[in-house]
Amino acid sequence: MNQSIPLFPERASSFAGGVDAFFIFLVLVALFFSVVVGVGILYFSFRHRRTASNPVGKIVAGSLSLEIAWMAVPFVIAMFMFAWGSKLYVEMRRPPSDALEIYVVGKQWMWKVQHPDGRREFDELHVPVNRDIKLTMISEDVIHDFFVPAFRVKMDVLPGRYTTLWFRATKTGRYHLFCSQYCGTEHSHMGGWVIVMEPSDYQAWLSGGSGSESLEQAGQALFTQLACVSCHGEGQGPGPRAPALRGVYGSKVKLSDGRTVLADEAYIRESILDPRAKIVMGYEPIMPTFQGVISEDQLLQLIAYVKSLGVPPAGAQRSVAGKE
């Protein structure tokens, strides 16, 4: 237990400084108004206290200019806060495109982490320092929340939908990882540590795994095992009954109803679990659903495999691509 109580958690990410500066500004504004009102109340109520010579208050008419002033000033300050806070938030919600992507699955009451090369870990997240990290997260059951106070980041982890969170750790060390959305009995124990390492240590740690296959390899194995190959094919061209998956990820897919959608993680996930939601133009809705057949971890592996099949040049539009 610390002797002195710290007022700020450790600053270990690129966001921490900005959030703390904003927070200090908010504290100062709050302090200023609290002092103005507090001193005003104390001063007036002492200065104009009830005495024999002051049995009743003076008549003071209202003041329109004062009313306008104390509406306008808070409004201006509030809008400034809004702008500053939004700037930070937009930054937090927009991950850089070249970030290292790590997959997180939350379940009652543990965190399962899969690194791109296949190394898996539980309730711990190892990341290299000074590198943008993007977490793609999903829950197997209820809503959880991935919260690392030292990074000043937090994002709910939802069932049925991917959310993302990104950060750049700036200091090596061990930092608390909390679940901060109430999720049941062991909610307070659903946490662990984020371990920030030097890049070389991270590489060593990655290779120290049990030599398991990478995410893509696992996904490829699943792709064969679930017989996706028989329709989608595995080569360059489209399969017998379904579009080829090469270069699908990140492309714009034309659907049979004329719409065009972006083939992102959510789209691929939906196409596996609910194949008939979006039918690729030129194909029949014949793919069976894999809902209940594969787990969220396996889904992430499949997505990693599809992603590994290549990304099209920017802006490319494919008329025959996607699922089925």
Tell me, what amino acid is at 53?
S
> Which CB atom, from 24 or from 221, has the smaller least distance to other proteins?
24
Q: Are 319 and 254 in contact (CB under 8 A)?
A: yes
77 contacts: CB under 8 Å, gap ≥ 6: 29
> Which CB atom, from 204 or from 262, has the smaller least distance to other proteins?
262
Q: Are 142 and 184 in contact (CB under 8 A)?
A: yes
Phi/psi of residue 225, nearest 5 degrees: -60, -40
> Which CB atom, from 54 or from 130, has the smaller least distance to other proteins?
54
Q: Are 149 and 9 in contact (CB under 8 A)?
A: yes
Q: CA-to-CA distance for 218 and 300, rounded, in angstroms? A: 10
Q: CA-to-CA distance for 137 and 105, rounded, in angstroms? A: 6
3 state SS of 21: helix
State the nearest-atom distance from the C-beta of 45 to other proteins, in Å. 4
Q: Are 40 and 33 in contact (CB under 8 A)?
A: no
> Which CB atom, from 209 or from 285, has the smaller least distance to other proteins?
285
State the nearest-atom distance from the C-beta of 31 to other proteins, in Å. 8
3 state SS of 113: strand
State the nearest-atom distance from the C-beta of 235 to other proteins, in Å. 28
Which of 309, 297, 308, 294 has its CA nearest to residue 114? 297
Q: CA-to-CA distance for 290 and 310, rounded, in angstroms? A: 23
State the nearest-atom distance from the C-beta of 104 to other proteins, in Å. 14
> Which CB atom, from 91 or from 198, has the smaller least distance to other proteins?
91
State the nearest-atom distance from the C-beta of 9 to other proteins, in Å. 5
Q: CA-to-CA distance for 151 and 176, rounded, in angstroms? A: 10
3 state SS of 42: helix
State the nearest-atom distance from the C-beta of 257 to other proteins, in Å. 5
> Which CB atom, from 240 or from 257, has the smaller least distance to other proteins?
257
> Which CB atom, from 12 or from 214, has the smaller least distance to other proteins?
12
Token match 């504004």: residue? 29
State the nearest-atom distance from the C-beta of 210 to other proteins, in Å. 30
State the nearest-atom distance from the C-beta of 248 to other proteins, in Å. 15
